[in-house]
Each structure stands twice: as structure tokens, then as C-alpha cells.
Amino acid sequence: MLARCSGTNRDGTSCSGQARPGRTWCSWHDPDLDAQRAGWRRAGGKAKSNAARARKQLPDNVLTTGEVRGLIGVTIRGVLAGRVEPGVGNSVANLARVALTAAEQDELEARLAALEAAAGIGRRTG
């Protein structure tokens, strides 16, 4: 039969976890693992952060204008359904606004360069 942890939970109840081999505590109560547990908590917090969740949802390359618009739609639906926190929705909206403005700026610069080239005017660089 597997030994149970001899540790105590925060509420005072006995831990029901399985003791580590050759030890009387589970991984969460073993005093020899204090430093490792702190690292586990930090890593777990980073993996659960909003930034980590966003990175998992987005592709590695730049989003197209259509993809940004799709992301906005998905986010709006998520906020309305309660799956996405309103603060995250606000962040997505602000970032999407910046992304769309940058895309518009790129398009205007390309159009201006084409017009200048057609007119025989070169851009001067300072």
C-alpha cells in the first residue's frame, strides 16, 4: 500500500497526497523541496499569465488586417459570453486599433511611393 503524506493542509486537515518514495511527505510538503516549489510557483504563474495565454492564441507571424478583425470579433463574443475578461477585451481592442492604424500607414506609404514613382519624383532622405 502506498504511504500517505504526513503533511498538513492550510485548513488543518491531513494531506491526502502520496508520499514521495523513501520520504514521509508529498512534493508539496517535503521541506527539502522548498526552493524547487518556489520555482514551480513562479513558472506556473508565468504559464498562466494573460501574456502567455495570448502568445498561445496568436501565430508567430504578423497578423493580416483580416486576422486582426477576426480577433476583434472573437474577443467581443468572448467578452459577451463571459469567457474573456473585459480588461483583456480592452487590451485586445487597443492593440488591434494600433495594428490597424499601422497597416493603414503602411498602405498609405506604399501608395504614396507608387504615385511618386509614377510622377518621376523620388523621396529625399535626410
Please give the average per-residue pLDDT across 86-97, as a whole number.
92
The pLDDT of residue 1 is: 58
Contacts of 84 (CB under 8 A, 6+ apart): 75, 78
Q: Quick one: what percent of the chain has pLDDT higher than 90?
A: 25
Specify the pTM: 0.43
Contacts of 87 (CB under 8 A, 6+ apart): none
Give the pLDDT confidence of 13-39 residue by residue, as tens digits: 999 889 888 889 898 898 888 888 888
Mean pLDDT score across all residues of the chain? 83
The pLDDT of residue 3 is: 87
- Return the bridge partners of 14, or none: 8
| Cα–Cα distance for residue pair 26/44, rounded to 1 Å | 18
